[in-house]
Amino acid sequence: MPVGNGHQAALISELVAGFGARPEMLIQILHRVVEQFGFVSEAAIRQLADELNLSRAEVHGVVSYYDDFHTEARGRHSIRICQAEACQAMGSAALTRHAQESLGLALHESSEDISLDPVYCLGNCACSPAIMINGRTYGRVTHERFDELVGAMGGDD
Amino acid sequence: MARTKVFVPRETAAVSVGADDVAIAIARKSKQLGTDIQLVRNGSWGASWLEPLIEVEVDGQRIAYGNVAASDIESLFAADFLGGGEHPRRVGPTQEIPYLIQQERWTFFRCGLIEALSIEDFRATSGFAGLEQALAMGSDAVIEAVLESGLRGRGGAGFPTGIKWRTVADASGTQKYIACNADEGDSGTFSDRILMESDPLSLIEGMAIAGFATGASKGYVYLRSEYPLTHKIFGKAIAVARDAGWLGENIQGSGFDFDIELHIGAGSYVCGEETAMLESLEGKRGIVRYKPPLPALEGLFGKPTVVNNVVTLASVPNILRLGAERYAQMGVGRSLGTLAFQLAGNIKRGGLVEKAFGVTLRELIEDWGGGTASGRPVKAVQVGGPLGAYIPAEQLDTPLDYEKFAEIGAMIGHGGIVVFDDLTNMARLARFAMEFCAIESCGKCTPCRIGSTRGVEVIDRMIKGEERELNYDLLVELCDTMEGASLCAMGGMTPYPVRSVLKYFADDFAPRQGGDA
């Protein structure tokens, strides 16, 4: 889908109106923009600044500050591997290497199909190591289970 | 004949290891057999090591089956699990599981027991009785009771809750706020999540009490985005409470107005720091504020604000319902009441253990946790998240008590306990502490922003064996600077894990071949 088009602009206006055009809802609105479009485009930043009565610098500052927001397209599937201490204690470093090798991606890297990212704690620390695929958390992830889960991601989720 | 109740938790840990698939398999099989069951998606008891832990109600008693996979469902039906039949997965009556019955459940007593979004279940287990009590006794008496209970902030800092509430209540101004910190970012912690997924209405009740006590009509919950299932469940709980007249205007005809807005974070650890959280709630970058002014006087949107952790707020309803003395009778010294400890990392039986303060690390790790998952000796335990010290195995007899922990240069924090076995290289964990600080620093103050990057470099040189003594001294000095001059705990406490590794595991800095942490 082309971005920065009339469809996106209309949808963003609708989102902003849904949150009462309150500037403090910027982060909440950005989550919805990412859900809809996968990333936050320059056009979206301009429009949000305009409609929330913020400066572009303020909106850009928020987008660039938080890990959840990106300004470029990401893979269709998101895989995040926990790198925090509890998962380290249960072999997350080896799992991360396995993921990188089997997917041919480094951390923070995206292909058209998959984005591979680190995450610092999914709150599943009694079932480490933990990963998140497309917003779902999985625990006790062995290398075999990782391969199964990736295999089951499906073509167009 | 009444339909047999089958409980399958809908909670992140359980779902992460297949609870949804188990629920589907049970529904399908019972339909195929024409058995009339009632499938209840309860919360979790917190015995995460047994998840998915499913239960069947037989003659009014709940029989537990642990580590159940969807592939077990055929054989479970064949073994008459609906009648509590024998099966390799059978654990026994839930009320006889030692892990659970040896706890002192005060704040988490409903978790696992009820269906999280059922207001009937909640009311049947004294839900909202604390709020009713609060409305009857008046705001001053509520604050007195919270003071008497000795409750301290469970987010990590341990500040007396009653004093904070009193400050906000006494502050001038008509608009005040309750801001609940559910940005549970510490590795090894998940108690906020379990509570919000398993008994979300208790947090709503606690927040309403805080609002009533301090004169705040609006509450905010700042929940981290890494908890999508919590988002769904808690979001629905707010709607459930509103529909039943426990949120909104004129709550239960009392004349008291209170409502809650849920905000989702966006992947920043430092937003768990209270002032960064307030910035983020205002829709801004999560940059730490200078203190003073205290948030209690100038907090959210510049108004007096109670900033409390999830567990702190959810502990209050029972303090009012059962009495402050009963809460204060538990615990030791100035650490009164209970804390929900969370056993994590390399541990055989990980999960949530709510106990009175004073229990030792060894009791938690050995009696509850059953030792390491790998079966190897414990080398170190990190308590209190990524800013907490690594405690060596020799100090496992330290009782969990805020002051006793401070004496050994450690902190209890939010109660996360992460266990590492003897194969762990601690120098790599010291490096990770600095690296994590570099990644997550908000960037406002120099010691944290720059110091953490320099810390990684110095540790890398030590690991390579370059000028070890010089670099050792440099690292100690860097820790002094970060600890003394950082604006908040992010830079100020990152030295804790680093120093503890220098103190107890200095040998791990020796050059070694590659390998895992």
Domain extents for chain A? 6-65, 77-151
Tell whether B285 is covered by a domain.
yes
Last residue of a domain, one of B299, B328, B357: B328
* Whether A32 contacts B264, CB under 8 Å: no
What residue of A is the nearest CA neighbor of B285?
Answer: A62
Contact B225 A31 (CB under 8 A): yes
Contact B350 A27 (CB under 8 A): no
Nearest CB to B266 within list A68, A84, A85: A68
Positions in chain A short of pLDDT 70: 1-4, 155-157
* Whether A81 contacts A90, CB under 8 Å: no
pLDDT tens-place string over residues B454-488: 999 999 999 999 998 999 999 999 999 999 999 99
pLDDT tens-place string over residues B116-162: 999 999 999 999 999 999 999 999 999 999 999 999 999 988 999 99
Optimal mutation site among B187, B342, B437, interface A, most CBs of chain A within 10 A = B187
Q: Give the span between the Cα atoms of A100 and A89, in whole angstroms.
A: 19
Q: Please report residues of A whose CB lies closer than 8 A to that of B344.
A: 86, 89, 125-126, 128
pLDDT tens-place string over residues B417-443: 999 999 999 999 999 999 999 999 999
| B81 and B180 assigned to the same domain | no
Tell whether B117 is covered by a domain.
no
- The one-letter amino acid code at B337 reads G
Based on the structure, what is the number of domains in chain B? 4
Residue of B248, B227, B23, B179 lying closest to B115 (CA atoms)? B23
- Whether the CB of A102 is below 8 Å from some CB of chain B: the reply is no
| B182 and B170 assigned to the same domain | yes
The residue with greater pLDDT, B395 or B2, is B395
pLDDT tens-place string over residues B155-204: 988 999 999 999 999 999 999 999 999 999 999 999 999 999 999 999 99
Last residue of a domain, one of B421, B451, B473: B421
Q: Please report residues of B whose CB lies closer than 8 A to that of A95.
A: none
Count of CA atoms in the C-beta half-sphere (13 A) of B316: 36
Size of interface A-B (CB pairs under 8 A): 160
Q: What is residue A155's predicted lDDT score, i.e. its pLDDT?
A: 58
Contact A128 B345 (CB under 8 A): yes
> How many Cβ atoms sit within 10 Å of the Cβ of residue B449?
17
pLDDT tens-place string over residues B237-275: 999 999 999 999 999 999 999 999 999 999 999 999 999
Percent residues over pLDDT 70 in chain B: 98
Tell me the nearest-neighbour CA distance from B76 into chain A, angstroms.
23
Contact A85 B345 (CB under 8 A): yes
| B153 and B286 assigned to the same domain | yes
Q: Give the span between the Cα atoms of B391 and B427, in whole angstroms.
A: 14
- Band (pLDDT 50/70/90 cuts) for residue B511 is low
Tell me the nearest-neighbour CA distance from A141 into chain B, angstroms.
9
| B310 and B348 assigned to the same domain | no
- Band (pLDDT 50/70/90 cuts) for residue B515 is very low
Contact A119 B281 (CB under 8 A): no
| B379 and B434 assigned to the same domain | no
Q: What is residue B512's predicted lDDT score, i.e. its pLDDT?
A: 55
Optimal mutation site among B191, B379, B414, B418, interface A, most CBs of chain A within 10 A = B418
Contact A91 B516 (CB under 8 A): yes
What residue of A is the nearest CA neighbor of B433?
Answer: A85
Q: Please report residues of B whose CB lies closer than 8 A to that of A125.
A: 187-190, 342, 344-345, 350, 416, 418
Q: Give the span between the Cα atoms of B348 and B421, in whole angstroms.
A: 12
| B230 and B95 assigned to the same domain | no
Which neighbouring-strand residues pair with B222? B181, B263
| B363 and B493 assigned to the same domain | no
What residue of B is the nearest CA neighbor of A21?
Answer: B283
Mean pLDDT of chain A: 95
CATH code of B482's domain: 1.20.1440.230
Q: Please report residues of A whose CB lies closer than 8 A to that of B227.
A: 122-123
Q: Give the span between the Cα atoms of B33 and B246, in whole angstroms.
A: 41
| B141 and B17 assigned to the same domain | no
Q: Please report residues of A whose CB lies closer than 8 A to that of B48.
A: 126-127
- Whether the CB of A86 is below 8 Å from some CB of chain B: the reply is yes
| B409 and B346 assigned to the same domain | yes
Q: Please name the fold of domain A6-65.
A: Arc Repressor Mutant, subunit A (1.10.10)
What residue of A is the nearest CA neighbor of B182?
Answer: A123
pLDDT tens-place string over residues B396-410: 999 999 999 999 999
> What does each C-alpha distance from A24 to A32, B174, B261, B265 come to in angstroms?
14, 20, 12, 12
Domains A6-65 and A77-151 share a fold: no
Domain of residue B452, residue span? 426-509
pLDDT tens-place string over residues B338-378: 999 999 999 999 999 999 999 999 999 999 999 999 999 99
Q: What is residue B48's predicted lDDT score, i.e. its pLDDT?
A: 98
CATH code of B247's domain: 3.40.50.11540
Tell whether B516 is covered by a domain.
no
Contact B421 A91 (CB under 8 A): no
CATH code of B56's domain: 3.40.30.10
Tell me the nearest-neighbour CA distance from A98 into chain B, angstroms.
13
Three-state DSSP at B410 gives coil
Nearest CB to B190 within list A27, A124, A138: A124
Question: Residue B516: is its pLDDT beyond 60?
Answer: no
Contact B266 A30 (CB under 8 A): yes
* Whether A130 contacts A122, CB under 8 Å: yes
Residue of B88, B61, B69, B58 lying closest to B14 (CA atoms)? B69
CATH number of A77-151: 3.40.30.10
Distance from chain centroid for Cα B13? 13
Write out B452-470 in H/E/C secondary structure. HHHHHHHHHHHHHCCCHHH
Optimal mutation site among A85, A88, A96, A120, interface B, most CBs of chain B within 10 A = A85
| B200 and B312 assigned to the same domain | yes
CATH code of B404's domain: 3.10.20.600
Nearest CB to B345 within list A28, A65, A89: A89
- Whether the CB of A27 is below 8 Å from some CB of chain B: the reply is yes
Q: Please report residues of B whose CB lies closer than 8 A to that of A148.
A: none
- Whether the CB of A23 is below 8 Å from some CB of chain B: the reply is yes
pLDDT tens-place string over residues A35-65: 999 999 999 999 999 999 999 999 999 999 9
* Whether B351 contacts B460, CB under 8 Å: no
| B137 and B276 assigned to the same domain | yes
Tell me the nearest-neighbour CA distance from A124 into chain B, angstroms.
6
**Sequence-ordered alpha helix ranges (H) in A19-155:** 26-37, 42-52, 56-65, 85-88, 92-103, 143-151
pLDDT tens-place string over residues B31-90: 999 999 999 999 999 999 999 999 999 999 999 999 999 999 999 999 999 999 999 999
Q: What is residue A154's predicted lDDT score, i.e. its pLDDT?
A: 74
Percent residues over pLDDT 70 in chain A: 96
| B269 and B179 assigned to the same domain | yes
Tell whether B112 is covered by a domain.
no
Tell whether B118 is covered by a domain.
no
Residue of B482, B385, B493, B413 lying closest to B157 (CA atoms)? B413
Contact B382 A85 (CB under 8 A): yes
pLDDT tens-place string over residues B266-304: 999 999 999 999 999 999 999 999 999 999 999 999 999
